[in-house]
Chain A
Amino acid sequence: MNGPLTLFDRLWSAHEILRRDDGASLLWVDRHYVHEGSHHAFARLAARGMALAHPALTVGVADHYVPTRGREAADADIARMIRTLEDNATARGFRLFGQHDPRQGIVHVVGPEQGLTLPGMLVVCGDSHTATHGALGAYAFGIGATEVAHVLATQTIWQRKPRRMGLSVEGRTGPAGGANDIPLNSIARLGADGGRGHAIEYAGAAVRALSVEGRLTLCNLSIEGGARSGLIAPDETLLNWLRGRPFAPDGAAWDRAAAEWLTLASDRDAAFDREEGLDAAESAPGVTWGTSPEDALPITGTLPDPERAATASDAARIRAALDYMGLRAGQRLEDVAVDQIFIGSCTNARIEDLRSAAAVLSGRRARVPGLVSPGSALVKAQAEQEGLDRIFVAAGLEWAGSGCSMCVGMNGDIVPPGNRCASTTNRNFRGRQGPGSRTHLMSPAMAAAAAVTGRLADVRPLLSGRDV
């Protein structure tokens, strides 16, 4: 390839084994994560009598179905899902971070935390939030079961090169909304399908200033804006975070790898197919009001009126969302009472997320019940070492184990029908947290503010005078 290149171009060409005349490229997969939900793909492989091409590049993590309250699965069906993954790991010979492993957690937390995901990698997993790993300078995207089976059998995947979007974020995010507000803002503006067909490279002062945890949150939500992958160029912040992680290289190999990783960047004059910009400091912390992540507003906002929608289709969508959510047009977001809160998920359950929620909850009582599920068992241990668990429990919240938990409800952690939940998760879809559940997405600090006020609330006054 000639001329200036983007980070994405570099990652793409480093993994392209061949390109067919019709434009489809065969890409090499460096890391393939599987979880309990990958059972369809293993069944497909078994039906064809095929083995794993590279068990040493495959890693299993139990997260979607694992219990987070106690050790027992909620029912026999759920227990069978966890066991099937264990059986497949044993039979197929790949490494597993199973239910009782002290390093277990959500795959998109565990992978980076263990150094299993590294810059320059191509990472896939049968989960749409695989975009998360792009925060480490990897090309990472979610795939379906047929594709999972293909990767298991060949360690490759056919793709057509997506278009490149550059999203530059200037200004600086505050502690209130944190990294979560960047995507809530951009998705509200560009739409839940605005990133369709694109790989998004995030850049700009606000992105460079983010911690790695914040970058993981940002890239995680790429898929909620329709982009299958999001990525950030490696820098010293990332190297400092990765150095010494269990599966990261060390010694001379680290030096060689780190030098290569710092070359993974877009050239100054590289062209993107589309460029977008955003000012991180321009609005109050965000929350969603409806049933798509694009239904996000600053907490100081009021609910939209379908009568004023631009098209009949928009009006129908807004009306249906308000109806499902039990809300009225013109209502102030801050007047919306919540029934419960959830702090967790691959979006917002890393140590910094728990710290920012604890900073709000410290010395305060929650008015509504809530569940706090750390992103991994190691995050949980770290939080307990810092005393964060005592803050959550003293506030009246439940301190649970790690897993996908109430973000997707597959392990039985669900929001009851009609209940309204302030949630640090990634999807406010109808029924996502359980049939009839009503979800408002927000940052961990904002979920903590909802806990102590019993409604959707601006966390900023609650942070006044606090060390955050």
Chain B
Amino acid sequence: MPGWTRHEGRALPLPLENVDTDQLIPARFMSAPRSAGYGGFLLHDLRYDSEGALRPDFPLNRPEAAGASVLIARRNFGGGSSREAAVYALVDAGFRAVIAPSFGDIFSSNAVNNGLLPARLPAEAVEALLEAAPLELAVDLDAGTITGEGQAHRFELDPVWRLKLVNGWDDIDLTAAHDEAISAFATRRRAARPWLWLATP
């Protein structure tokens, strides 16, 4: 995952609360390998009606959605299931940031692990952006700002997550540096609590 510091792109409004991960990607699509591309699954059952036809008035289906890379939504975006496929669907559809007043905790971790920024803004700021959207926005990770077309907001972001997004770090590489500490911990734990280890089959 390549890192990024500043992103400029078109922001779309999705004025809904509780957009859970079951909506971001319905369960029936999750057996596909990632190489198949998950973008087409994004918000599938909101984008299409029960007959499989596109709902033309849904924000992601409108002409101005083409090329959009920032999504603006209401509270509790990405709550529910831990499915990382919800993030794959957003990323594969071209999104680099989601702006909302709150996010599901597991979704947020998954997002950062895939280079997608979950940007938390106060509800009033989100409402202002929803009102103005679609619009062109610049997201700056170092400055912690979202600006454009008369809008200027600061978002909260865990410093660890900022570093991961900026550097595109993979945790497995970072953890390798601590091999010795991990081994020593495992040895102590196993000696003190041998019942935690199962006989391997």
* Chain A residues near B (Cβ < 8 Å): 17-18, 20, 22-24, 26, 28, 30-31, 37, 39-40, 43, 48, 50, 54-57, 59, 65, 77-78, 80-81, 93-96, 116, 118, 120-121, 126-128, 142-147, 149-150, 153-156, 158, 160, 162, 191-193, 196-197, 223-224, 226-228, 247-249, 253, 257, 291-292, 294, 313, 316-317, 320, 408-410, 417, 427, 429-432, 435-436
* CB contact between A192 and one of B76, B83, B123 (< 8 Å): that residue: B76
* CB contact between A23 and one of B16, B83, B104, B159 (< 8 Å): that residue: B159
Whether A409 contacts B80 by the Cβ 8 Å rule is no
Whether A94 contacts B201 by the Cβ 8 Å rule is yes
How far, in Å, is B119 (CB) from chain A's closest CB? 15
Chain B residues closer than 8 Å to A432, beta-carbon distance: 22, 27
A-B contact pairs, 9 of them (CB 8 A): A65-B31, A144-B83, A145-B85, A146-B110, A147-B110, A147-B113, A196-B76, A292-B18, A409-B28
The yes or no answer to B128 lying at the interface (CB within 8 A) is no
For B, the interface residue count at a CB cutoff of 8 angstroms equals 63
* A80, B114: Cα distance in complex, Å: 26
* CB contact between B34 and one of A30, A40, A116, A316 (< 8 Å): that residue: A40
* CB contact between B79 and one of A28, A39, A158, A193 (< 8 Å): that residue: A193
Whether B178 contacts A17 by the Cβ 8 Å rule is yes
Chain A residues closer than 8 Å to B106, beta-carbon distance: 128, 142-144, 223, 228
Whether B175 contacts A158 by the Cβ 8 Å rule is yes
How far, in Å, is A50 (CB) from chain B's closest CB? 8
Whether B81 contacts A128 by the Cβ 8 Å rule is yes
Chain B residues closer than 8 Å to A160, beta-carbon distance: 158, 160
Q: Which residue of B lies closest to A417 (CB)?
A: B50
Whether B105 contacts A228 by the Cβ 8 Å rule is yes
Known: A95-B200, A144-B113. 11 other contacts (CB 8 A): A23-B159, A59-B198, A94-B201, A145-B84, A193-B75, A223-B106, A224-B80, A320-B16, A429-B80, A430-B23, A436-B50
* A120, B27: Cα distance in complex, Å: 33
How far, in Å, is B85 (CB) from chain A's closest CB? 7
Chain A residues closer than 8 Å to B168, beta-carbon distance: none
* A116, B195: Cα distance in complex, Å: 10
Whether A146 contacts B182 by the Cβ 8 Å rule is no
Supposing A143-B106, A410-B27 touch, asked if A150 and B171 sit within 8 A by C-beta, the answer is: yes
Whether A22 contacts B159 by the Cβ 8 Å rule is yes
The yes or no answer to B194 lying at the interface (CB within 8 A) is yes
Chain A residues closer than 8 Å to B172, beta-carbon distance: 48, 50, 149-150, 153-154
Supposing A40-B34, A429-B20, A429-B23 touch, asked if A253 and B178 sit within 8 A by C-beta, the answer is: no
Whether A144 contacts B181 by the Cβ 8 Å rule is no
Chain B residues closer than 8 Å to A81, beta-carbon distance: 31
Q: Which residue of B lies closest to A407 (CB)?
A: B27
How far, in Å, is A38 (CB) from chain B's closest CB? 10
Chain B residues closer than 8 Å to A410, beta-carbon distance: 27-28, 30
How far, in Å, is A30 (CB) from chain B's closest CB? 5
Supposing A160-B160, A197-B105, A431-B22 touch, asked if A78 and B182 sit within 8 A by C-beta, the answer is: no
* Chain B residues near A (Cβ < 8 Å): 15-18, 20, 22-23, 26-28, 30-31, 33-34, 45-46, 50, 74-76, 79-85, 87, 102-106, 109-110, 113-114, 123, 127, 158-160, 163, 171-172, 174-176, 178, 181-182, 185-186, 189, 193-201
Whether A95 contacts B193 by the Cβ 8 Å rule is no
* A93, B201: Cα distance in complex, Å: 7
* A77, B36: Cα distance in complex, Å: 14
Supposing A144-B113, A146-B113, A317-B18 touch, asked if A431 and B45 sit within 8 A by C-beta, the answer is: yes
Q: Which residue of B lies closest to A37 (CB)?
A: B30
Chain A residues closer than 8 Å to B194, beta-carbon distance: 253
How far, in Å, is A68 (CB) from chain B's closest CB? 15
* CB contact between A431 and one of B23, B82, B174 (< 8 Å): that residue: B23
Supposing A18-B181, A156-B182, A253-B194 touch, asked if A147 and B45 sit within 8 A by C-beta, the answer is: no
Q: Which residue of B lies closest to A55 (CB)?
A: B200
How far, in Å, is B113 (CB) from chain A's closest CB? 4
Count chain B CB atoms within 10 A of each CB in A65, A116, A146 and give the residue with the most: A146
Chain A residues closer than 8 Å to B102, beta-carbon distance: 193, 196
Chain B residues closer than 8 Å to A80, beta-carbon distance: 31
Q: Which residue of B lies closest to A125 (CB)?
A: B82
Whether A95 contacts B198 by the Cβ 8 Å rule is yes
* A153, B179: Cα distance in complex, Å: 11
Whether B113 contacts A118 by the Cβ 8 Å rule is no
Lowest 4 CB-CB distances: which A-B pairs, in order? A144-B110, A249-B195, A146-B113, A144-B84
Whether B18 contacts A56 by the Cβ 8 Å rule is no
Whether B17 contacts A56 by the Cβ 8 Å rule is no
Whether A26 contacts B175 by the Cβ 8 Å rule is yes
Q: Which residue of B lies closest to A121 (CB)?
A: B196
Supposing A28-B185, A247-B198, A292-B18 touch, asked if A193 and B50 sit within 8 A by C-beta, the answer is: no
Whether A56 contacts B26 by the Cβ 8 Å rule is no
* A409, B34: Cα distance in complex, Å: 21
Whether A54 contacts B186 by the Cβ 8 Å rule is yes
Supposing A144-B82, A146-B84, A150-B171 touch, asked if A429 and B22 sit within 8 A by C-beta, the answer is: yes
Q: Which residue of B lies closest to A80 (CB)?
A: B31
* A257, B196: Cα distance in complex, Å: 10
Whether B45 contacts A128 by the Cβ 8 Å rule is no
Count chain A CB atoms within 10 A of each CB in B75, B76, B81 and give the residue with the most: B81
* A172, B105: Cα distance in complex, Å: 31
Chain B residues closer than 8 Å to A291, beta-carbon distance: 18
* CB contact between B175 and one of A31, A40, A65, A150 (< 8 Å): that residue: A150
* CB contact between B17 and one of A128, A253, A317 (< 8 Å): that residue: A317
Chain A residues closer than 8 Å to B27, beta-carbon distance: 408-410, 432
Whether A28 contacts B186 by the Cβ 8 Å rule is yes
Q: Which residue of B lies closest to A23 (CB)?
A: B160
* CB contact between A313 and one of B74, B109, B174 (< 8 Å): that residue: B74
Whether A226 contacts B110 by the Cβ 8 Å rule is no
